[in-house]
Amino acid sequence: MDNLRISRRALMLAGLGMAVGGCIPTGRPTLTTGFDPKTFDPARDLDPRFRRQQVDFSGPDQAGTIVVNTSERFLYAVEPGGTAMRYGVGVGEEGLSFKGTAKIGRKADWPSWTPTASMIERKPRLAQYAGGVPGGPNNPLGARAMYLYQGGQDTMFRVHGTNEPWTIGTAVSNGCIRLTNDDIIDLYDRTPVGTVVRVI
């Protein structure tokens, strides 16, 4: 396992975007809640802390900014008047998360997904998806995706939905920020291209 983590860090340094472009879980998490993944219903089974809710928000960020606190596992869509819509998120494992400021460079409704060459090299089982996975309920990016850009370049990090809602509140992905499908649809509709995203 230590060798795998070292390998991931080396990939990050050698080519950050290629290492994380897939945004899929690095391993299937074990549910500690006692819920069956096949019947997991976020509206019923998600920890109440991670359900979408309006909260007080103070900080330097202007209304319209998205702030992701990876240690808290929350995304804040900052609103006028000292409030924000808060969403529970799943984040990347240690060493795989994006940190810094970016902008939403583009958005996609039921996006397709293709694993990168480096992901297939690390996980040969992903070779079966080398031709891409069309958008739909079985796609790892879920119902919507918003693509993070810096300086006009795709960082290969995404804010997206998930077909594994029980991973919200955990650090299991290859670096992207994931929300339940209901939450990413809500956030997507609120968020224009060009929105500033600050990940801390």
Strand bridging mode 171-173 / 91-92? parallel
- The pLDDT assigned to 116 comes to 75
At 110, the amino acid letter reads: W
- Which residues touch 189 (CB under 8 Å, ≥6 apart)? none
Measured CA to CA, the distance from residue 93 to residue 103 in angstroms comes to 22
Active site residue 5: no
What's the pTM value of the predicted model, to 2 decimals? 0.81
Residue ranges of domains in the chain: 2-23+49-199
CB 197 within 8 A of CB 104: yes
pLDDT tens for residues 85-104?
999 999 977 656 778 999 99
Q: Given 84, 85, 141, 176, which residue is catalytic?
A: 176
Q: Answer yes or no: is pLDDT of 148 > 60.
A: yes
| CATH numeric code, 2-23+49-199 | 2.40.440.10
Q: What is the mean pLDDT of residues 101-118?
A: 91
Measured CA to CA, the distance from residue 120 to residue 126 in angstroms comes to 5
Cβ neighbours of 111 (radius 10 Å): 24
Q: Given 160, 183, 184, 187, which residue is catalytic?
A: 160
- The pLDDT assigned to 1 comes to 42
Q: Answer yes or no: is pLDDT of 16 > 90.
A: no
Chain centroid, CA 143 distance in Å = 12
The better pLDDT of the pair 30, 125 is held by 125
Active site residue 146: no
> In the chain, what is the straight-line distance between the N-terminal and C-terminal CA atoms, in Å?
26
- The pLDDT assigned to 9 comes to 35
170 DSSP assignment: S
